[in-house]
Amino acid sequence: MNHVTAALRTAKARLVVIGNGMAGMRTVEEILNRAPDKYDITVFGAEPRVNYNRIMLSPLLSGEKDFDEIVINTPEWYTENNIHLYSGDPVIKIDRDRKVVISKSGTETEYDQLLLATGSDPIIIPVPGHKLDGVVTFRDVDDVDTMLGAAAKGGPAVVIGGGLLGLEAAVGLQSRGMDVTVLHLAGHVMERQLDPSAGYLLAQELERRGITVITEADTAEIVGNEHVTGVRLKDGRMIPADLVVMAVGIRPNGRLAADAGVAVERGIVVDDVMTTSDPAIFAVGECVQHRGQCYGLVAPLFEMAKSLADHMAEIDTDGYTGSITSTKLKVTGVDVFSAGDFSGGGETEEIVFRDAGRGVYKRIVLEDGKIKGAVLYGDTSDGGWYFQLMKDGEDVTELRDTLAFGQAFAGGSSGNPLDAVAALPDDAEICGCNGVCKGSIVAAINEKSLTTLDEVKGHTKASASCGSCSGLVENLLAATLGGDYQAATVKPICTCTDHDHDSVRRLIIAKNLKSMPAVMQELEWKSSDGCHVCRPALNYYLLAAWPGEYVDHGASRFINERVHANIQKDGTYSVIPRMWGGLTNPRELRAIADVADKFEIPTVKVTGGQRIDLLGVKKEDLPAVWADLNAAGMVSGHAYGKSLRTVKSCVGQEWCRFGTQMSMGMAVELEKMTWGSWMPHKFKMAVSGCPRNCAEATIKDFGVVATDGGWDLHVGGNGGIHVRATDLLCKVTTDDEVKEYCGAFIQLYREEARYLERTAPWIERVGLKHVQERVVDDEANRKALFERFMISQKTAQIDPWAERASEGVDAHEFTPLSMVAAE
């Protein structure tokens, strides 16, 4: 640190934050928005990672998201804001006399102001066996990793606790292939958010999806020697389990504060500006107790953050006065909403709406003409409206007759959702997760010229967490911009579905769908058996998602792939046997000549990919043509396939006086490593032996150019109608690196690109940086991608048209005859 920077740091008040989670970092964000130069900020986090969205742990478990997608504050954010982060180094002591915090590593840091955001701890039921191996909680990324490790082995799992977190854990584990049972002490699941009727509907939906739900289940012990084997209930029932997830609740973590002599009751006691009993120490989040209340939802935590930021930035504030909470979420794909006190009884009355056919249930509890509580199941679109009416204490007597039908029918409304959102007051809460009101969103749209949902997310955080308010935010965009708004269009795969390619790929993994009928049923296909557009795409996505499990469905392939040849304009076919790296030998040439003579094939042509094309083959001759070529050790060149086509090469250092590396040898190795794998589209490679680039590697999907020191690796080229030169992926020095980077790049493309999307448009869509971050910068991820690619190559051997080639005639067992005959 230079002297100027040091002077600037010491001139600022020193703010130390204990807790790198959502509440603490939201407070820091709010302070930076108000007074960016007021504090020198140091953050201590117990977890060895940056701040992430805990609400998204369930999608992380199910596979709908990866960790990068749930990060809130990246490492760059800390650096850009001059925040010193100690991750994986929790504070173990606060010395209030010296105004110093001491971390586990022994680091001592002085503070002028201290912010406690220590969160909460999961409750562990102290039954016998609760410390056995295989008993976990569901609170952080490490818990998710443990659960994923268990799920990889399959077997039975028990989730103790039928609240929101428990059900999300159950759904995630079930989607990963485990046989899941939920044990819940209360009479119905999610009793804090749902009434018995809605709880019953949700339990029925869980059962329909294959999750066993046992209510009024009192756990007696967790059974096992060193590792858990089951759970015994007090009524004697034994539930087998290789994994037990405790999800029975949380309690505020006030240990550090209590040890330092700060007032702690149920949580750390704070006033309306979040000050503890020590005026130099503040607290926010799940660890606090405010006016006798502790909160476990994010919206109150963010309201606390705003009040504290106002106070610390010396802005006049009324402080935090408490929260009326609502819950809007999606469980097992079903929308649920609750707010206020829906227990009923006393002087209350109820409005109940049921639509069994649609799976919709609504219950609104009224008292003295005002909404006291509400529960919605299946249709939560009016949840925000009911919540606003409840918060404002509006008399809804005149709306009573149409109240159950929502805002569109209230008081003669037009029924237009844009009119409904326009009618909301500025303080109406749009995003409960992040505590963002309508006025803030509208102001951001107008002041920053925002036009898309992603832009609103980036500037306001509305819909950036669970995403359940995305539709409302888009309506607000449309109402604010009027005719200038153009909604982001999602292009479905075809008319059989409303899903696009990306959502289908994601849901196949998330919902553990392993057959075409399962995909069509779960994703509500509009046609009974799909069409010629969606079936090939689904077949590819299933093949890429479940190598070794899903059996390739030949009937769902295009005609060229079914007959292993390219149909020509006159109805005959073109057959191209593979020539590794463009190399051939007299035996292969003799076999090609013999086949051309025997079957009177009219045209024999050298292709641009350095192979020989036999044009004009009659369909009935295809099995026999391939039989003769197989006998000579020649396999299909897949000139028809959504797969590797060719690996073009120059003669390289083997023969050329300018060659710097052995390009022919490299081309052969790459082709033998990569051929036979299905891909989203055709895939071409080339290897040039020197920078003169005679093999034209810089217009290929993956190009390799030799240099004096090694190889330059290029990606995303295209030599078709729209010529695109490659982007430089990286430089490597060894042949093994070329193969590893090549396999990793192909696998990333296979896992992320849409069906029939070449590498060029894919890279233009996701960005070269995205590819480099996963293939070049992250060594562990690169190796994992390469490993998955090689696994897929092994399973490709099962497919008769993709038998692996190796040296010698006898090793070639490529036999497409049965599939051709079937056609």
User: How confident is the model over 677-730, as pLDDT tens digits?
Assistant: 889 999 999 999 999 989 899 999 999 999 988 999 999 998 877 788 999 999
- Using DSSP, state whether 189 is helix, strand or coil: coil
- Could you tell me where the beta strands, DSSP code E, fall in 629-726? 644-649, 683-688, 702-707, 710-715
Q: Would 664 be classed as within a structural domain?
A: yes
Question: Do 141 and 224 share a domain, yes or no?
Answer: yes
Q: What is the mean pLDDT of residues 765-784?
A: 91
**Does residue 318 belong to any structural domain of this protein?**
no
C-alpha–C-alpha distance, residues 23 and 115, integer Å:
10
Q: What is the mean pLDDT of residues 479-492?
A: 72
**Among 590, 610, 631, residue at a domain's last position:** 631
The yes-or-no verdict on residue 5 having pLDDT over 70 is no
Q: Would you state the pLDDT for residue 806?
A: 32
pLDDT more than 70, % of the chain: 91
Q: Classify residue 332: in a domain, yes or no.
A: no
Structural domain includes residue 537? yes
Residue 367 lies in a domain: no
- Between 806 and 321, the higher pLDDT residue: 321
Confidence at 1, pLDDT banded by 50, 70, 90: very low
| Alpha-carbon torsion (560, 562, 564, 570), positive or negative | negative
23, 156: one domain = no
Q: Would the pLDDT of 803 be above 80?
A: no
763 and 654 inside one domain: yes
Residues 6+ apart with CB under 8 A from 432: 297, 298, 299, 326, 327, 328, 469
Residue range 500-528, pLDDT digits in tens: 898 898 888 888 888 888 888 888 888 77
- Examine the domain organization and report whether 542 and 569 are in the same domain: no
8 Å CB contact between 555 and 605: no
Residue range 481-491: mean pLDDT, rounded: 69
Same domain membership, residue 526 and residue 618: no
Domains in the chain, number: 5
Same domain assignment for residues 766 and 798: yes
In a domain, 486, yes or no: no
Which residue did the predictor score with more confidence, 357 or 107?
Answer: 107
Tokens 């982001």, residue located? 488
pLDDT at position 632 is 84
User: Alpha helices, DSSP H only, in 511-641?
Assistant: 516-522, 534-545, 559-563, 586-598, 622-631
Please give the Cα distance from 194 to 162 (Å, whole number). Answer: 11
Rounded to an integer, what distance in angstroms lies between the CA atom of residue 40 and that of residue 110? 11
Q: Which amino acid is at 791?
A: I
Residue 535 sits in the same domain as residue 597: no
Query: In angstroms, rounded to a whole number, what is the distance separating the alpha carbons of residues 519 and 351?
Result: 38
- Clarify whether residues 107 and 184 are in a common domain: no
User: Whose CA is closest to 272, among 249, 287, 288?
Assistant: 288
Dihedral sign, CA of 119, 125, 130, 134?
negative
Check if the beta carbon of residue 133 is closer than 8 Å to that of residue 225: no
Determine the average pLDDT of the residues in 29-46.
Answer: 96
**Both tokens assigned to 357:** 């056919």
Q: Which of 307-311, 573-577, 623-627 has the highest mean pLDDT?
A: 307-311
Radius of gyration of the chain (CA): 31
Q: Which of 210-214, 297-301, 302-306, 708-712 shows the lowest per-residue confidence on average (mean pLDDT)? A: 297-301
Evaluate if residue 123 carries a pLDDT over 50. Answer: yes
pLDDT (mean) for 284-297: 94
Indicate if 650 and 796 belong to the same structural domain.
yes
What integer is the mean pLDDT of 330-343?
Answer: 79
pLDDT at 489: 62
Check residues 344 and 122 and name the one with the higher pLDDT.
Answer: 122
* β-pair type (288-290, 268-270): parallel
Give the residue-averaged pLDDT of 184-194.
90
Work out the percent of the chain whose per-residue pLDDT is above 90.
Answer: 45
Residue 368 has pLDDT above 80, yes or no: yes
d(CA 653, CA 655): 5
29 with 103, same domain? yes
Of 92, 6, 90, 104, nearest to 44 (Cα)? 90
Res. 823: pLDDT tops 50: no
Mean pLDDT taken over the chain: 86
CATH at 793 = 3.30.413.10
Of 124-133, 597-606, 719-728, the least confident = 719-728
- What b/e string do you get for 212-242 counting C-beta neighbours within 10 Å, with b at 16 or more? bbebebebbebbbeeebbbbbbeeeeebebb
- 446 belongs to a structural domain: no
Neighbours of 191 (CB within 10 A): 16
Q: Which residue range forms the structural domain that includes residue 237?
A: 135-248
706 and 724 assigned to the same domain: yes
Structure-token match 């039928």, residue found: 162
Q: What is the average per-residue pLDDT within 15-39?
A: 96
